[in-house]
């Protein structure tokens, strides 16, 4: 089992989502936040939009700035910056393994905000650990129990978890 960028993103928000996603039990698609999020990533930065697929990762944007390769990930809001940062770092790490040096940019079109993400030893270690944890979550027979967190009110699993 190879963790994907999406699972990394979910892992830092809620481990239960990791388990559910791993079974393709996708969240409620009409959840307003999911729908708006989908729209924003579809509509923004269309000029640079080249969805790139490498092994089991999907990269939102890719461009070259001079000598540098820049990959971008579009997010609706910076509220879950940690998740977003680790997801992008994961892509950088994957590219690194393929021999591609790149920098990451987190893009928040609604907030007109950009954050640069670089791969460091610390982040690499953290990613390593996260991937191990993700694998052990996915191997669980039943999902980690629902816990009420801030994200619940915006989550497409809210009705599933609290039904």
Partner 1 sequence: MKVILVYDINEKRVTKVLKTCRKYLNWVQNSVFEGEISEAKLVKLKMELKKIIHEDEDSVIIYTFRSAWYTNRETIGVKKGVQELII
Partner 2 sequence: MKRSIYIFSDGELKRKDKTLCFETKEGKKYIPVENTHEILIFGEVTINKRLLEFLTESEIILHFFNYYGYYVGSFYPREHLNSGYMILKQAEHYLDHKKRLNLAENFVSGAIENIKRVLIYYANRGKPLNETIDKINSIALSIKDCESTEELMAVEGNIRDEYYQAFDIILDSEHFVFEARTKRPPKNRLNALISFANSLVYTTVLSEIYHTHLDPRIGYLHTTNFRRFTLNLDVAEIFKPIIADRVIFNLVNKSIIKPNHFEKKLDGIVLNDKGKQLLIQHMDERLRSTIQHKRIGRHVSYRQLIRLELYKIQKHLIGEEEYRPFQSGW
CA distance linking residue 49 with residue 65, whole number of Å:
15
In the set 65, 67, 122, 141, which binds partner 2 (CB under 8 A)? 141
Residue 25's binding partner among partner 2, partner 1, none (Cβ under 5 to 8 angstroms by kind) is partner 2
Residue 93's binding partner among partner 1, partner 2, none (Cβ under 5 to 8 angstroms by kind) is none
Q: Judged by CB, which is closer to partner 2: 87, or 158?
A: 158
CB of 74 to partner 2, least distance (A): 22
CA distance linking residue 85 with residue 21, whole number of Å:
20
CA distance linking residue 89 with residue 119, whole number of Å:
6
CB of 19 to partner 2, least distance (A): 9
5: its two tokens: 């960028």
Residue 59 β-bridge partners: 52
Sign of the alpha-carbon torsion through 118, 119, 124, 130: positive
Contact 21, 6 (CB under 8 A): yes
CA distance linking residue 67 with residue 101, whole number of Å:
10
In the set 23, 24, 30, 47, which binds partner 1 (CB under 8 A)? 30
CB of 61 to partner 1, least distance (A): 19
In the set 23, 24, 32, 97, which binds partner 1 (CB under 8 A)? 32
In the set 105, 143, 155, 156, which binds partner 2 (CB under 8 A)? 143
Query: Looking only at Cα atoms, what is the longest distance across the chain?
Result: 52
Residues that bind partner 1 (CB under 8 A): 30, 32-33, 35-36, 39, 43
Residues that bind partner 2 (CB under 8 A): 23-26, 28-30, 141-143, 145, 158-160, 162-163
């Amino acid at each position: 089992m190879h963790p994907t960028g999406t699972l990394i993103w979910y892992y830092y928000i809620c481990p239960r989502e990791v388990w559910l996603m791993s079974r393709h039990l996708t969240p409620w698609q009409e959840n307003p936040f999911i729908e708006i999020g989908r729209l924003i990533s579809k509509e923004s930065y269309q000029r640079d939009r080249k969805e790139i697929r490498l092994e089991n990762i999907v990269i939102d944007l890719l461009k070259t700035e001079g000598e540098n390769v820049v990959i971008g990930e579009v997010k609706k809001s910076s509220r879950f910056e940690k998740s977003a940062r680790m997801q992008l770092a994961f892509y950088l790490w994957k590219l690194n393994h393929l021999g591609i040096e790149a920098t990451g940019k987190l893009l928040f079109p609604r907030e007109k905000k950009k954050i640069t993400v670089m791969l460091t030893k610390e982040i690499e270690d953290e990613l390593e650990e996260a991937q191990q944890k993700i694998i052990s979550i996915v191997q669980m027979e039943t999902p980690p129990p629902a816990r009420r967190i801030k994200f619940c009110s915006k989550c497409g699993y809210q009705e599933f978890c609290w039904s």
